[in-house]
Structure 1
Amino acid sequence: MLSNRIATEQLKPIDGIHKLCNWIKDHGLKRAAVSNAPRANAELMISMLGLSDFFQVVIVGSECERAKPFPGPYLKALKELNASAGHAFIFEDSASGIKAGVAAGMPVIGLTTRNPEKSLKEAGATFLIKDYEDPKLWKALEELEKMEQS
């Protein structure tokens, strides 16, 4: 179990997280957190980042038949959100998470905050970003908006 003290000392929000969350909410997108961490740890981290009200669903690998790198946790999130893989995208910071998202049929944006770029790219990331302020991300989101409007 992750202690509050350790979490407070080590858990720092990735730059741009709240800007991205606002964009996602403003566009009415459904939202799930998918983690291999134990549920108590995942929920503590989400809470400490101020995202408890943001995520509609929290899926943890241990509550699925098989955890990441298998696609089950992402497929369960889609089912619970009543969403389709063709209208979804994932943010991931681990190779196993990227592999799971790709296997579930979704584009995965790799975050280079914890793991080497090479391993994330080899796992199948659509593209990589250093944080949620990355211009590549916002260019891709603009493209999504254009596709939505046409």
Structure 2
Amino acid sequence: MTLKALIFDMDGTLVHSDPVHLRAFAEVLGPEGVSIDDEVYRNTIIGRTNESIFATLLPGRPVTDHETFADLKEAAFRRLASDLKPLEGLLDLLDWADRYTVKIALVTNAPSLNASHMLDTMGLTDRFTVKITRDDVSRGKPDPLPYLTALDRLGLAADQAIAFEDSPSGMKAAKGAGLFSFGILTGLTAADMTRAGADITIPNFQSKALWDVLAKRLGTAT
């Protein structure tokens, strides 16, 4: 049960990037007559793969169109996401992990180009021992495969790591891999994330509930 790794989702977890994604979707799909607002984003987009998102938003269009619009949307996102800031408390948490030799991993449904851009923008590229993007696995979240792949590369069992997620699909993936998981409340409510399986919900990485768990799992003061 000794804590050996922290595994983070990216969008909505490392950074509150959902507003930028919403703008990118609206920019690309508005001309197609598809309206993207907060409700559509929460119910149709957050935490899902591009394959699933564009199949839902552009029904009846061929898969090749879905792929084209996904590429356009991600390019728009990277152009718009020029000033990303880590979520409150994240840098302190990463420093704490380094101090206690706890590994840090990334598991995201985002493509590798997005992951690289976002980590570079926030100055976090070198902080992660393992990075699993949608390009690295055959099935994305909510399938547990991305988390299982991260655990395999870390050389750890599920009870040696903690996951952080902000969406129901991500939480389903983390819990399906057997991970104790915090639900980050950047886009959804505590009730939403608890229903999705979160063991504990927190607004950000400054939460006392998080640091209490870390101290208990590591057997030391935070």
Compute the TM-score of the two structures, normalised by the length of structure 1.
Answer: 0.90
* Code of the aligned partner of 1:28: T
How many residue pairs get aligned? The number is: 147
Kept after mapping to 1: 8 A contact 2:94/2:104: no
Give the share of equivalent positions with the same residue, in percent.
37
Contact 2:103 2:129 in 1 (8 A): yes
Q: What is the aligned partner in structure 1 of residue 81 from structure 2? A: 7
Name whichever of 100-109 and 57-66 sits farther off: 57-66
AA matched with 1:60 = T
Unaligned runs of 5+ in 2: 1-73
SS of the residue corresponding to residue 91 of structure 1 reads strand
Match of 1:24 in 2: 97
Who wins on radius of gyration, i.e. which is larger?
2
What do the CA deviations read for 1:86-136 (whole angstroms, capped 9, x no partner)?
101101111111110000001111100122222211110010010111111
Task: Give the equivalent residue in structure 1 for 2:215.
Answer: 142
1:1-150 to 2 correspondence within 5 Å?
A: 1-2=74-75, 3-9=77-83, 11-146=84-219
Question: Normalised by the size of structure 2, how large is the TM-score?
Answer: 0.62
Q: Distance in 1 between matches of 2:190 and 2:144?
A: 21
Whose relative contact order is higher, 1 or 2, with alpha carbons under 8 Å and at least 6 apart?
2
Query: Unaligned regions of 5+ residues in structure 1, if any?
Result: none
Q: Structure 2: how far apart are the matches of 1:145 and 1:83?
A: 15
